[in-house]
Amino acid sequence: MKRHLVSAADLTRDDALLVLDTAEELAQLSGRAVKKLPTLRGRTVVNLFFEDSTRTKTSFEVAEKRLSADVINFSAKGSSVSKGESLKDTALTLQAMGADAVVVRHHASGAPARLAQSDWLHGSVINAGDGTHEHPTQALLDAFTMRRHLNPGAGNDLAGRRVTIVGDILHSRVARSNVHLLTTLGAQVTFVAPPTLLPIGIENWPCEVSYDLESVLPKTDALMMLRVQRERMNAAFFPTEREYTRRYGVDGPRMSRLPEHAIVMHPGPMVRGMEITAEVADSPRCTVVEQVANGVSVRMAVLYLLLGGATLTDTPRTDSVESAK
């Protein structure tokens, strides 16, 4: 494994399977009386959240605490960032305080990559979602959930499984990370979205594109619904919500067109009545709650593999431009 987890594309097939297998072992922990391991005792992990998040932040915090790490929560609101501090100065401050790992969520795509490539921080950088770029731990927990349902067992991948991702692909870091990871694991990914919500250059992504949800459903093993990210939209991408729901939302009759074994996934937060009806969201085939539980195991696995062993000798680069200043 590399020292940082910035993009799902950084993970080789072996790395990804190692994370999933480790997570499978760590998932047992939630059934125990003492849900804690001493593995990261004395290591400090900073959760650096420049953007709102409930699920991811809580999930990381639970994972860190279960591994006995010291957790420091740093959110942009109420910190020096709101007074105008730059990412670099924030990072240097955290380095001076001795952070062994930094979990970053940032509204700008590429912020975690910047932190990982600079020598501002010597610890590991874990991307917890950057702009519309990537969210690798979400992709890992999605793959973990799919594997449990579609091909359970340690060492198994997702070869030949067909995953359909529906909705706002353009603004979705979840879709981007998933397409990399799922392809690495051998799955076939199909995107279904209105043409306005597909990114430019999608023809170069390792996936297929369809505009017709109905025709794709019978050939789907896992259906992943995405939220329409209104907060990132500055233009009208579709005429009305009702039209979007009619063409790209999943309801009871649509769910019944899926094969018997197929699951319905959603990274959350769901907007009921928009991309998913309450009937589907509350059905036993919907894995939303399970995905949250799996998120803790997968994040524990990532933290253990990046921080648990010897510090990986990825010599800190001296960024000549920065150090010259």
Quick check: 293 and 251 in contact, CB under 8 A?
no
Torsion-angle region of residue 131: left (phi > 0), alpha (psi -120 to 50) or beta? left
Per-residue x/- marks for other proteins, 258-297, CB under 8 A?
----------------------------------------
Largest CA distance in the chain: 63
Q: Which two tokens stand for residue 167?
A: 């909705």
144 binds other proteins (CB under 8 A): no
Strand order from edge to edge, sheet including 70-75 = 70-75, 44-49, 101-106, 124-130
**Cα–Cα distance for residue pair 1/22, rounded to 1 Å:** 13
- Check: CB of residue 130 under 8 Å from CB of residue 108: yes
Task: Please tell me whether residue 21 binds other proteins under the rule CB under 8 A.
Answer: yes
Number of residues that bind other proteins (CB under 8 A): 24
Structure tokens at 177: 């990370």
Closer by beta carbon to other proteins, 33 or else 200: 33
Query: Cβ closer to other proteins: 29 or 81?
Result: 29
Closest approach of other proteins to the CB of residue 204, in Å: 34
Q: How far is the CB of 6 from other proteins (least distance, A)?
A: 18
Inter-axis angle of helices 136-150 and 288-303, nearest 10 = 120
Minimum distance, C-beta of residue 154 to other proteins, in the bound complex (Å): 8
Give the per-residue contact string, 194-233, with other proteins (x = CB under 8 A; - = no): ----------------------------------------
Q: What is the DSSP string of 25-73?
A: HHHGGGGSSS----TTTT-EEEEEESS--SHHHHHHHHHHHHTT-EEEE
For 62, list phi and psi in degrees, rounded to 5: -60, -45
219: phi then psi, degrees, rounded to nearest 5: -105, 30
Task: Find the shortest distance in angstroms from Cβ 231 to other proteins.
Answer: 37
Phi, psi for 25 (deg, rounded to 5): -70, -40
* Interface stretch with other proteins, choices 164-172, 188-196, 257-265, 298-306 (CB under 8 A): 298-306
Nearer to other proteins, 26 or 217 (CB): 26
Q: Which is nearer to other proteins, 196 or 311 (CB)?
A: 311
Q: In angstroms, what is the minimal distance from the CB of 193 to other proteins? A: 38
Tell me whether residue 118 or residue 137 sits nearer to other proteins (CB atom): 137
* Position among 82, 309, 314, 316 found at the interface with other proteins (CB under 8 A): 309
Q: Is residue 304 near other proteins by the rule CB under 8 A?
A: yes
Site string for other proteins, 24-63 (x = CB under 8 A): -xx-x---xxx-xxxx------------------------
Say how far apart CA 110 and CA 236 lie, in whole Å.
Answer: 26
Q: Which residue has the tokens 């499978």?
A: 24
Residue choice 7, 22, 118, 245 for contact with other proteins (CB under 8 A): 22
The nearest distance, CB 66 to other proteins, in angstroms, is 11
Strand partners, 163: 189, 222
Smallest separation, CB 17 to other proteins (Å)? 10
**305 binds other proteins per the rule CB under 8 A:** yes
Interface of this chain with other proteins, residues 151 to 180, rule: CB under 8 A: 154
CA separation for the pair 169, 228 (Å, rounded): 9
> Does 315 contact other proteins by CB under 8 A?
no
Q: Which amino acid is at 256?
A: S
What the block records as the tokens of 257 is: 């067109």
Q: Which residues bind other proteins (CB under 8 A)?
A: 1, 18, 21-22, 25-26, 28, 32-34, 36-39, 154, 304-312
